[in-house]
Amino acid sequence: MATPRKSRAVVLLSGGMDSCVCAALAVRDYEVAAVHVSYGQRTEERERQSALAICQRLRIHHRLMIRNEALRQIGGSALTDESIDVPEAEAIGQDIPVTYVPFRNAHFLAVAVSWAEVLGAEKVYIGAVEPDSSGYPDCRPAYYKAFNEVVKAGTKNGRIEVVTPLIAMHKAEIVRLGLELGAPFDLTWSCYSREDQACGVCDSCVLRLRAFESAGAQDPIPYAAR
Ligand SMILES: [Zn+2]
């Protein structure tokens, strides 16, 4: 008997470690299509390459590479505005940092839900994480709960669900899960400021390095400083 075809899921793939683990999870359970959004962020070329390489490794053939022009023009974040420096990680978790891109995940989710509706996909995966993160408001569980109400009310059959399988996990647990799933961490990019080697000092690098260290694993990407 032929195995029934898997249901479809759309995965938002930034190219970072969380989205990579999310994609590996989704590939296990669904026929996956991946969306990557470039939005004028400092490391956009490197992240785009990472997303494509991860698709290749995980055999995700259905890809949508999107450019969002609004976020860069709006600015207001160290990631999209050259006049705001990317800070070194000193006060993670105290305030919402300047690397927060205003309401960014809503732009990404809108694209992914639109595509899911066209593809007939049931789920939209996003690798949002709340603990051990920078405290971005669009990574909170309440936000996804509310967003799912919007999706339910605003799509044809109201059956698409945005899922956040990593949201309550600590970064070290995400590393362990990724290793179990064979997620290609070597292809991921997390650094906010550099594209040649990871800087090792921005929030994103520091959180990532801490995660690998507490998972007792070696981060396979090159760093300028550790
Ligand atoms: Zn960095």
| Ligand 1 geometric centre to CA of 124 (Å) | 28
Per-residue pLDDT of 1-47, as tens digits, reads 556 678 999 999 999 999 999 999 999 999 999 999 999 999 999 99
Cα gap 44→49, rounded to integer Å: 9
| Ligand 1 geometric centre to CA of 38 (Å) | 18
User: Averaged over 180-192, what is the pLDDT?
Assistant: 97
Per-residue pLDDT of 32-91, as tens digits, reads 999 999 999 999 999 999 999 999 999 999 999 999 999 999 999 999 998 998 888 766
Task: Give the global pTM.
Answer: 0.94
Cα gap 144→125, rounded to integer Å: 11
Sign of CA dihedral 9, 47, 80, 131: positive
Mean pLDDT score across all residues of the chain: 93
pLDDT band at 95 (very low <50, low <70, confident <90, very high): confident
Strand 8-12 versus strand 123-125 pairing type = parallel
Cα gap 183→174, rounded to integer Å: 10
Cα gap 109→162, rounded to integer Å: 8
| Ligand 1 geometric centre to CA of 224 (Å) | 9
| Ligand 1 geometric centre to CA of 55 (Å) | 23
Cα gap 128→47, rounded to integer Å: 17
| Ligand 1 geometric centre to CA of 152 (Å) | 37
Q: Percent of the chain, pLDDT > 70?
A: 96
| Ligand 1 geometric centre to CA of 12 (Å) | 21
Q: Does residue 133 have a pLDDT over 60?
A: yes
| Ligand 1 geometric centre to CA of 191 (Å) | 4
Cα gap 172→48, rounded to integer Å: 25
**Partners of 86 in beta bridges:** none
Per-residue pLDDT of 159-178, as tens digits, reads 999 999 999 999 999 999 99
